[in-house]
Structure 1
């Protein structure tokens, strides 16, 4: 057995990861793991699982969970047999875990050994060991267990251990050399962002930043924490912070010995990145901050017409706003909290629609998925990226780090009146980076947790939703079933309200049942609820969830057998929604066969149609469906369904990638399983639309495979996602997906998968300017591709190394890598790769100012692309040729080349690159003094950019305005 608790709670028997059961069972296991080696008293378990109000059956439920865990760990264990792992001892339960079997114990042992090494003067070894220990952590301890369980002080203590280790690593790193210091700095920055008021931690960040050459950033970090201490706590910096600032000002800090020649070869360490950004970067940031974007997002979900109750809460919320016509003097924040299913999102969306007209610059909405039982939480970086997308910020103009993205987001909202709805937040820290800084905006946050941090730190107005009052619950039924029907059977309606626990989600499901069966009396529905109440033994005593799950069970039992089977299978889908073809593949049916089944599920409110042809499911309903699937389906049936679903996404993703770039080399896949529907794409546009819609699902599928699957589909899906994520600038998502892919491929012992994952991980690390990581991963991928005899894989790795070398203005080194890539492609006969390398070599010559050399290489690329019929490559080569001729002042030839590129881009319907080439054409006409022709080309480009909502429209409009200005 192996266990993990530094992040999501996980367990493996051999190489098989175990499904740990319902939330409280996972919480119980987490509690035993953090106290490994010590018995945990039954009363302590009960207090942790239920708090102050445990049910009478609490001890019996704990015993059932213990029995289920024992059977999970040891499938052949007799009913009264003695467990090897989980034993009863001293009035409690003891989990007997070897030090090498639990990540927490490994972390503690490595931290202790690092301390011993540091005391012996071996700072480099201590730092390296502590970096490895910190890398074991995948998030807060026992992430994902019920909040009431995670409130146990033991989990907070484990998180503090990680924080102490980060501080120790910062101390050791000062004597460990620049390479190790740069690696520690990454973790230190992350910890400092999460613990913004920890003065000791912030002081260590200031010192290490200065020691590694980032003096300006160190002083800015000091100013930021000083301001935050004053604004939030009314305090001045303490002695540690003041001392750190003085060290920076006096320049008395520096890292220890320099790295060896071997450490510095190939790519520069963090020290080489010191200093101020170049002029181009500064200008780019200035362009973004002064751009007057015209996008007005309107992302609010549809308001529910039959909204009922909550009059007191709405009155309280409306009182937040100043009189109509007045602008709020500060950012208004409303934190709506309450249990799952109580109607937080419904209230937030309803109120948002009521006040939306007071925020004319737009409405932003995102589901942060803070309590999703199976899928990944939406990180602040992902949320900010989606908001920047909504405002039309181009991918290449979005900064790579979270702090810079947050600053750009706040800048865009400055002097604007925007309504922001942040749904399903995990905690206060989850939403802090998403808060505007300027007055005039309203932020509505919903969460199952009480957001005390927002109330104390940001002055948020807290609204905690309770169950509906009896009167509001009856109004709820009346709005959905008709006032006359409820009045005729008022006693039965009252009983339904009571049996549903006055919980809105439960009432909605019952209402759906009654609405689609108008002949049913409310008395008969109440009787069915009475008979079904408490029949789910697994949830006995866990009020109020017991009542809701009884409603789920009853609603499920009313389904036809085929719809019930589909509902169970949908529990395996990673979410947030799915297409009909994906559902069909999951079910092993044709799309026309599953549509009526989905209609049945929608009518029963077990599934919702989020948009025409796409279907989603409330997270609790999905979890319930998964539990039913585990209970009623065989392992073989569930595994076949999961494989069909993953085959659908994997083969459809590859088909979309092939539609975008037909000649690109890609991984070979096994044929899809029987009864899998694969999407087909008629053109470039349909493929891009599919990618944009399915991206959240594909990323969730990769994450789900990493945590629960074998991993084969997961790494292949990540490899297929690589080009799309890179082209769209979603580098943080790329980093997460390829990190998971590396882990999965290593777990499988799949060398090919490891090679692809390391290559992609190296390239995105370079995109994010993590040069050391980029070097390590890309060179590792070269070794692995060499082991399996894949020269094409090695060639692309060399191209990636060349691209990153060009990013750092190491053009000669780039040409050396391209030479290796060209040789490898020629050995395989891959003409498309050979041609792409020639075009990239030509572009390198353009960067070097060697335009004649560029013409030779790009001309060679063009000839090959034309020979093999690669329109994408041909268009790119023509554009490069035009760019080179333009810089040689041969405007006529430049225009001829651009005309060919324009023709090809129109053939493949790439609207953005068509506009980009039109801008180049206009630039060349303008350089030749033909201003009217330049204006014509720029206007055509502007029309396209406005049509697709691209922010480059502002830049092109500026070109046109410059023509009209007096010269």
Structure 2
């Protein structure tokens, strides 16, 4: 064709869609972002309104406004589903959607192959950067500039393993990680390093991967992942040089350009990663030394580290934040098992499913193993599987799905490889320790080492997430870990070593508890204890307040120690612990525990030669039965006790049993028969010249006399009891009971002001001494006095408080009686 000639037009020209036409030529991320901005402006014109801000778009889509800003400023390629949703929100026509989707896919594919490079200058369609908060005017395109592609970089690494499909719960931990990332974004802070710690099988890797996949759009420069094999069947952690070489190659560094020395590799890695917005997941780390060279430089990367150890060095030197995982709560464990097995199967065998959850103790790996066994063995019912798990000797056998990663025993064993020999021995022996927790003082006796050494071993185990610090001075071990530890003790420690360790621990509880009981009830004759075995050092208790505090912390462990002593045939220790717990149980109103420890003492005392020990056990168990309203059982054991003391010529013991018989008949409603036994007890204690017991017996007589209507005589006896008690020492525990009796007597005589004076004194002593059992009775009597003063409002308050005490102490008959009085007040008009 000659220069200047024009080709004839074949007809009227078509008017193609400009946006679709531009999408057909888009080749870079900047081109795509510019098209999105054009679409946003067109959407605004169609609405005759300003352009949707990033925050408004975030509100319509449910994504973060930061992610929206990154899509419109060419920092991140939107995922397919988000891109399609964004086009719909902005009103793109079907043809435009197809053209834009093709452009997006073309750009992603080119980036994957390494053929598309972001040019040094801006694309011809790239606009100005968005404002930081996404609220400013939409960026406008700049003047067209020629672009020349540079050398093609390596594609962004995508090394994360698959997302965990069954992930459930962990809302608090996920929120913590979200907050850390948000703070980095808002403040432009340094690299975020989060160390996720916990025992084996607790779900550390699952949490890291689940969180990572929730935030992939925040890491456009890729994700690096490595299993450092710090705790692994192979037993050999991955060397940092190996990891760095793999990371550098993934980031596009030529293998020939990677140095040999670790420090040079780490420096090159920090430089390459310095300006990247990238996630690095360092899974299953052994210790801080292994991960320190793998931390990227700059201020834009995020690092997640999982480990079975507390990486305290990392926290101290790198400002890392710690996320400690514990067992799943009941509801989250239920959801996880239901996701594995299906709600239908769970509903069919709901009771068995509940047993499975209990046996797995909230450990995600254990729940997954149970589910895997149920899925691969369709003939195995959940009921049969639950039966396997409840069989204590082989409980861990049922948590083995046939492969090392699905064998809980194997997974737990990998943690022990990093322990010192002394800590490994301590871990095993802690597995046979009775009770849900242990203090350093108790652990010292169990291990036969000084307290300082025991504390160091406990800290090493806590650092390895094999035990968990529960309170200021006590440690706990997960149920399944404790089973594993007990297996190790039986496999690695000789029988004599295990028996000696357990005996030291039991004697620790016996001697410390007996010392505490002597502080709480100095009037009670103490049992003769055996000599301490070597290596056993009781915990010092300087006063009664310290004794109460010690019992509050160690109560469950002392109960377990008594059970353990009983199973080993240490009968004297069983009876000593029952005696030692008596003052504490009475103060705290723990009637069921009191009954349980004396029942065991009755069984074990039968094998002891001393009839007085057997008699005391029968008496105290009978007394406990009476408090629970079991009159027939109470009378049976009290009569056996009385017979034994009569045979042994134990006059004081006979007086105590008559005192208990008086209380039993009173609770049964026979006050006259009760008074007969109370008078017998008083006579015997006068013969024995025991002032404390005389005072207690006089108070018992006075109490029963006022119940029978002899108020003046009752007052005289109770006043005599108070004078006798005060004359012969400070026995405030007994004094509060006498003051309560005097208050009740005054109330019966309609002397309400005097009654309240006595009762308030009694209440003050009870609260100072922690006598919860008697406090409930005193509050009941104060309510009666207030009602006598026509103060029904104050009476109601006291009865409500008393009802709470009675209910907590399982004194159900007393609770019902007070509830009836409260109902009566509600029915009557206000006084």
TM-score calculated relative to the size of structure 1? 0.42
Question: Structure 2 length as normaliser, TM-score?
Answer: 0.48
**Higher RCO, Cα 8 Å, sep 6+:** 1
